[in-house]
Amino acid sequence: MAKATIVGYEAGKLSPDEQALRDMKRSLEDAGVLFIPENGGGAGVRLARPASASIDTDETETVQYEEYLKNDAPPGAGG
């Protein structure tokens, strides 16, 4: 599918048919995107972790690297 076609869909200038929607979904899934069904918190997407991937922490932990511990934002800066 051409980038210009997708841009047209996003801009609302074009409307994809059912086959185009299926093709886009399949392409995203083949690239590692998981579609999460409505489960009370809303439908969504996430990237699948390849089976060969490894991480050095438990998935429930938050990792804070030392170089990011310092808050260098001015007072009142949101974020």
Domain that holds residue 3: 1-38
Can you give the pTM of this predicted structure? Answer: 0.54
User: Do the domain assignments include residue 66?
Assistant: no
User: Do the domain assignments include residue 34?
Assistant: yes
Q: What tens digit of pLDDT does each residue of 38-57 get? A: 876 778 888 887 655 555 55
User: Do the domain assignments include residue 33?
Assistant: yes
Concatenate the DSSP letters of all residues of 12-57 into one string: TSS---HHHHHHHHHHHHHTTEEEEPPSSS--EEEEPPPTT---SS
Nearest Cα neighbor of 49 from 33, 25, 27 is 33
Domain count, the chain: 1
User: Do the domain assignments include residue 44?
Assistant: no
User: Do the domain assignments include residue 74?
Assistant: no
Q: What is the pLDDT of residue 43?
A: 84
User: Do the domain assignments include residue 77?
Assistant: no
